[in-house]
Amino acid sequence: MKKFVSILLALGVLALGAVPASAGGRGGHGGYYGRGGHGGYYGHGGYGVGGFFAGLIGGAIIGSAIANSAPAVAYAPPPAAYYPPERVWVPGRYETRIERQWVPGYWTVDRSSRYYDDEDDYRGGRRDWVPGHYENVRVQVWFPGRWEERG
């Protein structure tokens, strides 16, 4: 706001000094080469010494207003620091897992029901069919070593 007021003040001073010295009915029109009184294109008159000092003072005011203007303050969070993750070697290992495996069907023999046929020939017993099924089996699996990022 201070900067705006000082610029307006300087422009007002410059506008007051910009009034020609021959204005106000003193001297009249002097022609192209200054004949017939004061003024003219090349003659005495125009802005005069007052205009010079008005420009000098106005320039000083505008220059100090621009030079003393503080930059706008911007508050921002500090920049985030980047730390790369730590790399750690994990050695290889065996791990016991339980897997489902298919067991095909098979015949079983019941030994408790042994019998002899008419010719006194030994028969092994009753045979039963066990259909195929899945069983849970413990298996050891090797996991190779690897690099792992921690953090």
151 alpha carbon, distance to own chain's centre: 22
Residue 50 included in any domain: yes
For residue 123, the model assigns a pLDDT of: 59
Q: Would you give the DSSP letter of residue 14?
A: H
For residue 94, the model assigns a pLDDT of: 96
Total domains present in the chain: 2
Residue 18 included in any domain: yes
> Which residues are CB-neighbours of 74 under 8 A, at least 6 positions away?
none
pLDDT along the chain (151 residues), means of 10: 72 63 50 53 60 77 73 81 89 95 88 55 70 95 93 66
For residue 74, the model assigns a pLDDT of: 80
For residue 100, the model assigns a pLDDT of: 95
The closest of 80, 62, 78, 72 to 6, measured between CA atoms, is: 62
**Cα–Cα distance measured from residue 38 to residue 50, given in angstroms and rounded to the nearest whole number:** 17
Q: Are residues 146 and 107 in the same domain?
A: yes
Residue 80 included in any domain: no
Residue 76 included in any domain: no
Is residue 131 a contact partner of residue 106, using CB atoms and an 8 Å limit?
Answer: no
Provide the whole-model pTM: 0.30
Q: Are residues 45 and 97 in the same domain?
A: no
The strand pairing partners of 35, in sequence order, are none
Residue 104 included in any domain: yes
State which residues form the domain around 96: 90-150
For residue 139, the model assigns a pLDDT of: 94
For residue 72, the model assigns a pLDDT of: 73
Residue 73 included in any domain: no
